[in-house]
Amino acid sequence: MGPVRAAGAGYGENLTGSLDNANLLIEHRIRVSSRREEEAVRVREEAAWIAAEIAELRHAIHREPEIGLDLPKTQQKVLAALDGLPLEISTGRGLSSVTAVLRGGPGPVVLLRGDMDALPVAEETRLPYASAIPGAMHACGHDLHTAMLAGAARLLSARKAELPGTVIFMFQPGEEGYAGARHMINEGVLDAAGDRPVAAYGLHVTSQRLPCGMFSTRPGAMLAAADQITVTVRGRGGHASVPHQAADPIPVACEMVTALQTLVTRKFDVFDPVVITVGSFHAGTTDNVIPDEATFLATARSFSQESRSRLAEVVPQLIGEIARGHGLTAEAIYAAEYPVTVNDEAEAAFAAETIAAVFGAERGEQAQFPLTGAEDFSFVLEQVPGAFVMLGACPAGTDPLTAPTNHSALATFDDAALADGTALYAELALRRLARG
Ligand SMILES: [Zn+2]
Ligand SMILES: [Zn+2]
């Protein structure tokens, strides 16, 4: 309890004083917010001015897609795009990442991330800038992320003198299954500016579902955790005509596949769902030989740490028990890959506010559900509060509900999204730094 004041003494005076202060504060806020609105218009205009160059960079990256952690040509293109900007640039040791630090005045650190890698997909879009590399394609739109982040680095570099803090630009290889973000964290990206970032933001384009230019985010789980289950069922091979003299692993492995689907519905809360999909199944060589082994691979998706831990426990148990029931043995390796991508509540609200302020409320939606895809930006969000935002890039004239999805050989992403993605990256940093 604080000190007790004498009743009446100076109350009126204080009240007037605090009302004046409140009015001043409101006026100040209006001035600041109108300055910020003018600034937002300028940022959007500047993004539109450089949109053709951002598209050119995007097309160059798209034409020469590279897969995995080693993307030397993409890295060169990024370094060329950043050349001449007032940035402290370092490149990865074990992967071809680019970390660029823009130091403004005193203030906090904010991290912006764009991933750079392509997929092992043979492009079928027939776009003029389609992949010239057989079997590789930017089918997840990471070429857009890289180009937009380079664009944001330009817009923010032009504001270096008045920037109230520092921005880390994280150009990341190996998102598609190589945990490139984790490698960059291990190499120190979160400490690249000295102080740790107070917030981190990632953007991802989608070729369907959202109309072009529509942003979408949500507090809490934004994307699933993705883990891999590798199962080997060991039996005893023999002649297919006398299965009782062998130990056939195929029907047992098939039973495991269906039992896993039962497990999903019987062991997990319907409001904290999981997905298990067996995507690869191999056994045997021909019709009249029982093989020694059957193997299959499954992906497991979950949206909470509880469900994820439970999966890691009950899946190997079920596999082992089914094998034992048939007198066989089995091994199930549950490998943790990407954690749940969890948006910080306050940072997701801040990202939504920024979208509404910069582009208008009609340009943002709060996603009702998380996506079942996964992201290694989750490793960044495990250590730094932040938000992951989706951006519709469905080409004009196509229906977002039926357009080919990300990862399809036919997926196309409209350049029209580039300027707005660039402006959002820049505005997230500007507004978050201004908040202190
Ligand atoms: Zn992808
Ligand atoms: Zn992606």
* Nearest ligand to the C-alpha atom of residue 411: 1
CA 303, CA 339: separation in Å to the nearest integer? 9
Question: Measured in angstroms, how far is the CA atom of residue 398 from the centroid of ligand 2?
Answer: 21
Interhelix angle 142-157/418-435, rounded to 10 degrees, is 50
Question: Measured in angstroms, how far is the CA atom of residue 223 from the centroid of ligand 1?
Answer: 12
**pLDDT confidence of residue 33:** 75
Fill in the amino acid letter for 20. Answer: D
Q: Per residue in 248-270, pLDDT tens? A: 999 999 999 999 999 999 999 99
* Nearest ligand to the C-alpha atom of residue 145: 2
Task: Give the Cβ contact number of residue 355 at 10 Å.
Answer: 24
- Indicate if the pLDDT at residue 8 is higher than 70: no
Query: Residue 385 has which token pair?
Result: 């509060």
Question: Measured in angstroms, how far is the CA atom of residue 25 from the centroid of ligand 1?
Answer: 46
Question: Measured in angstroms, how far is the CA atom of residue 307 from the centroid of ligand 1?
Answer: 23
Question: Measured in angstroms, how far is the CA atom of residue 268 from the centroid of ligand 1?
Answer: 27
* Nearest ligand to the C-alpha atom of residue 116: 2
Q: What percent of the chain has pLDDT over 90?
A: 90
* Nearest ligand to the C-alpha atom of residue 390: 2
Lookup result for tokens 């910020």? 36
Q: Per residue in 192-210, pLDDT tens? A: 999 999 999 999 999 999 9
Question: Measured in angstroms, how far is the CA atom of residue 120 from the centroid of ligand 2?
Answer: 13
Q: Which sign does the torsion angle of CA 304, 307, 310, 316 carry?
A: negative
Question: Measured in angstroms, how far is the CA atom of residue 285 from the centroid of ligand 2?
Answer: 36
Question: Measured in angstroms, how far is the CA atom of residue 176 from the centroid of ligand 1?
Answer: 6
Contact between 89 and 100 (Cβ < 8 Å): yes
* Nearest ligand to the C-alpha atom of residue 181: 2
Question: Measured in angstroms, how far is the CA atom of residue 140 from the centroid of ligand 1?
Answer: 5
* Range 341-367 average pLDDT: 97
- Indicate if the pLDDT at residue 32 is higher than 80: no
Phi then psi dihedrals of residue 113, to 5 deg = -125, 140
Write 184-189 long-range contacts (CB < 8 A, 24+).
184/92, 184/95, 184/97, 184/99, 185/379, 185/380, 185/383, 187/92, 187/93, 187/94, 187/95, 187/97, 189/97, 189/99, 189/111
Q: Per residue in 400-435, pLDDT tens? A: 999 999 999 999 999 999 999 999 999 999 999 999
Question: Measured in angstroms, how far is the CA atom of residue 238 from the centroid of ligand 1?
Answer: 42
Q: Per residue in 117-137, pLDDT tens? A: 999 999 999 999 999 999 999
The CA-CA-CA angle for residues 132, 138, 143, to 5°, reads 105
Question: Measured in angstroms, how far is the CA atom of residue 145 from the centroid of ligand 2?
Answer: 9
- Indicate if the pLDDT at residue 109 is higher than 90: yes
Work out the pLDDT band at 23, boundaries 50, 70, 90.
Answer: confident
CA 260, CA 298: separation in Å to the nearest integer? 10
CA trace torsion 202, 189, 65, 70 (10° rounding): -150
Coil, helix or strand at residue 77: helix
- Indicate if the pLDDT at residue 16 is higher than 60: no
Question: Measured in angstroms, how far is the CA atom of residue 258 from the centroid of ligand 2?
Answer: 30
CA 336, CA 180: separation in Å to the nearest integer? 15
Work out the pLDDT band at 13, boundaries 50, 70, 90.
Answer: very low
Fill in the amino acid letter for 93. Answer: R
Question: Measured in angstroms, how far is the CA atom of residue 298 from the centroid of ligand 2?
Answer: 20
- Indicate if the pLDDT at residue 20 is higher than 80: no
Question: Measured in angstroms, how far is the CA atom of residue 186 from the centroid of ligand 2?
Answer: 21
- Indicate if the pLDDT at residue 22 is higher than 90: no
Distance of CA 418 to the CA centre of its chain: 17
CA 28, CA 279: separation in Å to the nearest integer? 58
Question: Measured in angstroms, how far is the CA atom of residue 377 from the centroid of ligand 2?
Answer: 10
* Nearest ligand to the C-alpha atom of residue 377: 2
Phi then psi dihedrals of residue 172, to 5 deg = -115, 125
